[in-house]
Homo-oligomer: A and B are copies of this chain.
Amino acid sequence: MKKAVSIIMGSQSDLETMQEAIDLLKKFKVGFEVKVLSAHRTPRELAKYVESVPKKGVKVFICAAGGAAALAGVVAAHTTEPVIGVPIETKSLKGLDSLLSIVQMPAGIPVACMAIGRAGAKNAAIFALEILGIRDASINLKLASHKRTMAAKIKRIKLKI
């Protein structure tokens, strides 16, 4: 199976958050790979990796990092493929630092920022699928079905009040 999505994390501890994205991609049976690479601690390996993946078939990047979260921006600097950023919650500033470091990119180098934490991780995977869906109608159909299931689940809720 081709690896259409590359998930990069700045630190091993981000896996807990990113598991949401991994599980969703598995469920959709879309090929992906996961790497721990840091814009600050392994800059050369990161650059080399980003430049190497197009031949593997990678079409979208998902980058998760916390604090001075340079990862997504630096990946975006090395590719013209879409880069999605997930701000990891941090101990003191609760991910506000991660969020601003990811979302406030300068004109010219976009990063698609998701919500802080797990919701953002899951949405990164869905957004990656939406992107892949523009050239693979079968993914789009699955997304529409996934969305209907989600809505149906809400409609079935019986509150005990």
Using CB atoms and an 8 Å cutoff, list the residues of chain A in contact with chain B.
Answer: 10-12, 15, 19-20, 22, 34, 36-45, 47, 59-60, 66-70, 73-74, 76-78, 80-82, 84, 89-97, 99-119, 122-124, 126-127, 130-135, 140, 143-144, 147, 150-151, 154-155, 157, 159, 161
Contacts and interface: CB of A to CB of B under 8 A. Distances in A.
A76 to B, nearest CB: 7
A12 B87 CA distance: 25
A74 to B, nearest CB: 6
A103 B99 CA distance: 9
A13 to B, nearest CB: 11
Given A40-B73, A133-B81, A143-B80, A68 B100 contact: yes
A10 B73 CA distance: 13
B42 A101 contact: no
A11 B151 CA distance: 11
For the complex of A and B, the 5 pairs showing the least CB-CB separation, nearest first, are A112-B112, A110-B123, A135-B135, A70-B70, A67-B104
